[in-house]
Amino acid sequence: MVSPEQHLTAAAVVFREADCLDRWQWQDWLDLYTEDCEFWCPAWVDEETLGDDPDRYVSFFYLSGRAAMGDRVFRVESGLTPFVTPLPRTCHVISNLHVTAPDATRLQVSSHWQTSTYHRRQTVHLFGFYDHTLVRDGERWRIARKKITLLNDHLDLPIDFNQI
C-alpha cells in the first residue's frame, strides 16, 4: 500500500529533477543523485522491443556514477560544443506519476514525460516514460537509478541528457 506521504515524497523528487534541468541548475540536478547512480536510456531493438540489457544492446545513455553525469554537465556548461551553442531551452512536463514498490528506504516511481526543446528557432518534442528508483539518504531521498524510455526515437536533432 502506497501512503500519501510516499506519493508526495516521490513526486517532489521527480518534479524537482525536471525543474533543475529546465532552469539550468546543473549542480543541483547532480546533487539529486547518489554517488553510484545509474542513468540509462536504452535504444529500441526493433519497433516493439526495447533493449533490456545495456551490455548487450546499444543505449542512448548508460552513465554509471555521478562523476560520469558530471562530465555531461561540464560539456553543456563549457560552451565548447557547437551543438549546444547557444544552450537549448527545455521544458519537461511529467504526469501519471505513481509509486509502484514502496518500503521505508526505497521507492520505485513510474511516470510519463514530455519534453519540448527549443533551439535556434526550432522546437522538438520528445516523450516517454521514467522509472526512478529513489533511496533514503538520512533526511532526504536521492535518485539511485533512472531509466528513461524514449518512445519517439527517430531523432531529427541530437539529444542530450536534459532533453529527455
Bridge partners of residue 49, in order along the sequence: 46
Under the criterion CB under 8 A, does residue 24 sit at the interface with another protein?
A: no
Give least dist CB 108 to another protein, A: 25
Q: Choose the binding region for another protein from 15-23, 27-35, 67-75, 110-118 (rule: CB under 8 A).
A: 67-75
* Contact flag: residue 118 with another protein (CB under 8 A): no
* Number of other residues whose CB lies within 10 A of the CB of residue 92: 22
Asked if 74 touches another protein (CB under 8 A), the answer is yes
Q: How far is the CB of 145 from another protein (least distance, A)?
A: 17
For the beta sheet containing 140-150, the strands, ordered from the edge strand earlier in sequence to the opposite edge, are 59-64, 33-42, 140-150, 122-137, 106-119, 89-102
128 contacts 149 by C-beta, under 8 angstroms: yes
Interface region with another protein, contact rule CB under 8 A, candidates 74-82, 91-99, 103-111, 136-144: 74-82
Q: Which position among 4, 5, 82, 104 is part of the footprint of another protein (CB under 8 A)?
A: 82
**71 phi and psi angles, rounded to 5 deg:** -60, -40
What does the alpha-carbon distance between residue 152 and residue 128 come to, in Å, rounded to a whole number? 8
82: left (phi over 0), alpha (psi -120 to 50) or beta: alpha
Q: Binding string, 29-58, against another protein, x = CB under 8 A?
A: ------------xxxxxxx---x--xxxxx
Shortest distance in whole angstroms from residue 127 CB to another protein: 16
Give me the residues that bind another protein (CB under 8 A), please. 41-47, 51, 54-62, 67, 71-72, 74-75, 78, 80-85, 120, 153-161
